[in-house]
A and B are shown apart, each in its own frame.
Chain A
């Protein structure tokens, strides 16, 4: 029995330590917002936050994340600027890659609240969207950056 801290909740799962974090999240904890697509860390559809940093859950075992805080797309609040920007800019088409992409962007913005074009590309070239929403992803990032900036000033 392994214990996992996901989205602020403690889950117990009857899996070995070398079980894949991605599949434990999906099949055992029923948190299916995190997607399987390539299984080798090439596409980013399985991206979650481990202690606030974007990681590919397909390449991690549950043993590696024991005692760490995991956040999945379900745990990122609806009020998060990236989620709001994604709706405002109508980024999504099929949507399958987007939970991972949103988690990737959320992590980027928490590290660099006003990323420059190169910093955006270097992070975002790690993810794939087959529908070709890249132009809207770029817009969504700009909008999220502005939201953070404006709301940051208010508080």
Chain B
């Protein structure tokens, strides 16, 4: 993966001499395509979101602003362009774009790789831009040979004139094609003519990753690079009481101690010296703002907050009245703890602030935010801040936050050196911005026929918007914290509960707990779907109905949800008997424009409380899957992350701070705990949905529902650790 200065070069039109460069810009008013050689007038005010170049050496390079964190976006977008352009896959290269307004995702309005939005956001623009390039290459060939365009055909990186058996490669034609005007409405291929889209393709980033040559943030090396590590508060809100700066500076190699909002940064010539300096600094801290906080305190606080008045987030009909008149009622309280991102590559960032220029090498999902903050801290205008996006060892949403960029830019500005900030694994877990814990209570009622007539729901959770965009919290409601229950009005993603319940009420309260939270793969769709899909299962049981049969009539308007439920159930052998001690559970969810359902099979050892997941069958409808092999991998990954939260993950707190520190006390799923995972792609939805996140939400509830099916005992929390399971079985 190369990074380069192509954006500016493109805007100057200087690439015209080097080949054919087509860029596409998307705005609410439609598409605009530009050829880089059209001159300065045409380029004025033009903001391309993505572009590609074909050069005389017969290479096609795509410049993409979205980050590649293992989700396969770079390959998928290159496939789309290669297909529509009729390029040869062997001639395709991808270049990571720098931070620039020009790269903003048309769905997100920012250069941000989140919300499973990269491929769906860029799919149409890529096709338009590639179709235009193909038309220009064909025209260039026809002109060169003096034949009609209609007699020429583009295929695998060449234009062919069959009648005269002539052909030219795109590399040979690109300079002539660059002189032509870009057609704004070149015809698109028929889906049936796709050569690459929809077929499994090997990813472009994999060979370098297998060789060990791919450069991640932690691998960045800059001449005269210094290192910084931070002494951070052990409890939330703790302030330094004393420190020994002199002792730190006495450590060989330490050059400076710098104050930052996150703690004291010890800057040194080597990482080892920085660590030794931090030890010598011996910062003493006060007890922080909530020293009594531990896991018990957290759970009790969230449960107590359920009884405080919240804000109305959604209402339909009259839930209160419906519940009063219901023939049968049920009420349950659910709890989902804080979980950590625990990315394999600990948080890090390298920055170099110098006169008139700031460079940041970051494993970041959020280039726009990184650039804005680096600009503020360095005092340089944003266009003087270059964000070089590296590969990243997993993202899961954590790397969309810019805290690590801030640290590196402050340390570099203070020392005048290029500085790499490195977090240890312990810091990575303890100073994570977690997935928000939540406590929720639902009361629902059935009529005499077992039909769901009313649903009243109260949710308490930390606010996701508090760190990213506090203005988006309106009247006490944070929609992102409620994703999976309700979504923004008109959102195409439909991160909401689909069940058609005539009387529905949802109330929300932002928790006062000081634990910082942010997006974690699927954001709160995960925890919220756990609550609703388990409770729907409870209502099915209360109605004396099969959980699948109970769900389907509640999804009359949601054909996609019906489809995936039916496919998952059929492939899993829903209804077939299982041996004693085993159970099967089902769940569905809609998020990021994708329908997904899962069936889990579990074995429960009632003696030691061990839950073993034997099999997970997933059905996914994301519309067209650009690279089905990669979609399968993404869904499996989401399922495994969610399974990890269902069985193991819970951040431990003590003394007002985080106690969990490393993989020995914050366990994540290992190979022996991973069941067979079958992924079935169901192509029913017309619109393309995301695939990075939808594997998460249905998994934990399917497992918990399977546990109930196996034991007859309902556990209304995760993770299902042996301790939790034994505690619940005792009450049986």
Chain A residues near B (Cβ < 8 Å):
19, 23, 26-27, 30-40, 42-43, 45, 72-74, 78, 83, 86-87, 90-99, 102, 121, 124-125, 127-138
Segment of B204-212, B485-493, B539-547 in the binding face: B204-212
Name the A residues within 8 Å of B641 (CB-CB).
130, 132
Instruction: Check B670 for interface membership: any CB of A closer than 8 A.
Output: yes
Least CB distance from B228 to A in Å reads 14
A131–B670 CA distance with the chains assembled, in angstroms: 11
Interface residues of B in 268-316 (CB under 8 A from A): 270-272
Residue of B nearest to A86 (CB): B210
Counting chain B CB atoms within 10 Å of each CB, the highest count among A19, A90, A91 belongs to A90
Name the A residues within 8 Å of B209 (CB-CB).
92, 95, 98
Instruction: Check B668 for interface membership: any CB of A closer than 8 A.
Output: yes
Q: A131-B70, A132-B636 are in contact. List 20 more A-B contacts (CB 8 A).
A: A32-B212, A32-B218, A32-B219, A38-B663, A39-B424, A39-B425, A40-B662, A73-B212, A83-B210, A87-B210, A90-B203, A90-B633, A92-B70, A92-B203, A92-B209, A94-B391, A96-B393, A132-B669, A133-B636, A135-B674
Q: Count contacts on B: residues with CB < 8 A to the other chain.
A: 57
Residue of B nearest to A84 (CB): B210
A79–B476 CA distance with the chains assembled, in angstroms: 59
Within 8 Å by CB of A128, from B639, B663, B676, lies B663
Least CB distance from B277 to A in Å reads 16
Contact A130 B206 (CB under 8 A): no
Contact A23 B637 (CB under 8 A): no
Contact code string B238-271 (vs A, CB < 8 Å = 1, else 0): 0000000000000000000000000000000011
Contact code string B629-663 (vs A, CB < 8 Å = 1, else 0): 11001101111110000000000000000000011
Listed A/B pairs (9) with beta-carbon separation below 8 Å: A27-B270, A33-B211, A95-B210, A96-B394, A128-B663, A132-B641, A132-B674, A134-B671, A138-B671
Name the B residues within 8 Å of A90 (CB-CB).
202-203, 206, 629-630, 633
Residue of A nearest to B663 (CB): A42
Name the A residues within 8 Å of B72 (CB-CB).
93
Contact A42 B662 (CB under 8 A): yes
Segment of B17-25, B342-350, B510-518 in the binding face: B342-350
Least CB distance from A61 to B in Å reads 12
A131–B396 CA distance with the chains assembled, in angstroms: 9
Instruction: Check B215 for interface membership: any CB of A closer than 8 A.
Output: yes
Residue of A nearest to B674 (CB): A134
Name the A residues within 8 Å of B343 (CB-CB).
130
Instruction: Check B57 for interface membership: any CB of A closer than 8 A.
Output: no
Name the B residues within 8 Å of A132 (CB-CB).
636-641, 669, 674
A21–B686 CA distance with the chains assembled, in angstroms: 53
Name the B residues within 8 Å of A37 (CB-CB).
344-346, 393, 425
Residue of B nearest to A16 (CB): B272
Contact B271 A27 (CB under 8 A): yes
Instruction: Check B213 for interface membership: any CB of A closer than 8 A.
Output: yes
Name the A residues within 8 Å of B205 (CB-CB).
92, 95
Residue of B nearest to A30 (CB): B221
Contact B216 A96 (CB under 8 A): yes
Instruction: Check B98 for interface membership: any CB of A closer than 8 A.
Output: no
Contact B344 A96 (CB under 8 A): yes
Contact A95 B425 (CB under 8 A): no
Name the B residues within 8 Å of A95 (CB-CB).
70, 205-206, 209-210, 214, 391, 393
A74–B210 CA distance with the chains assembled, in angstroms: 9
Contact A19 B218 (CB under 8 A): no
Instruction: Check B664 for interface membership: any CB of A closer than 8 A.
Output: yes
| Given A42-B663, A97-B393, A133-B633: A125 in contact with B670 (beta carbons within 8 A) | yes
Least CB distance from B417 to A in Å reads 16
Name the B residues within 8 Å of A31 (CB-CB).
212
Name the B residues within 8 Å of A30 (CB-CB).
221
Contact A97 B210 (CB under 8 A): no
Contact code string B609-629 (vs A, CB < 8 Å = 1, else 0): 000000000000000000001
| Given A35-B344, A95-B206, A97-B393: A133 in contact with B637 (beta carbons within 8 A) | yes
| Given A131-B637, A132-B637, A135-B674: A74 in contact with B393 (beta carbons within 8 A) | no
A37–B671 CA distance with the chains assembled, in angstroms: 18
Interface residues of B in 64-120 (CB under 8 A from A): 69-72
Within 8 Å by CB of B677, from A33, A34, A86, A135, lies A135
Residue of A nearest to B637 (CB): A132
A92–B72 CA distance with the chains assembled, in angstroms: 10
Contact B633 A134 (CB under 8 A): no
A39–B344 CA distance with the chains assembled, in angstroms: 11
A39–B669 CA distance with the chains assembled, in angstroms: 18
Contact B212 A128 (CB under 8 A): no
Name the A residues within 8 Å of B215 (CB-CB).
32
| Given A35-B344, A83-B210: A42 in contact with B424 (beta carbons within 8 A) | no
Residue of A nearest to B639 (CB): A132
Counting chain B CB atoms within 10 Å of each CB, the highest count among A32, A91, A131 belongs to A131
10 pairs of A and B residues whose beta carbons are closest in the complex: A33-B212, A96-B393, A132-B640, A94-B70, A95-B209, A93-B70, A73-B212, A132-B637, A32-B219, A42-B663
Least CB distance from A52 to B in Å reads 18
Least CB distance from A100 to B in Å reads 9
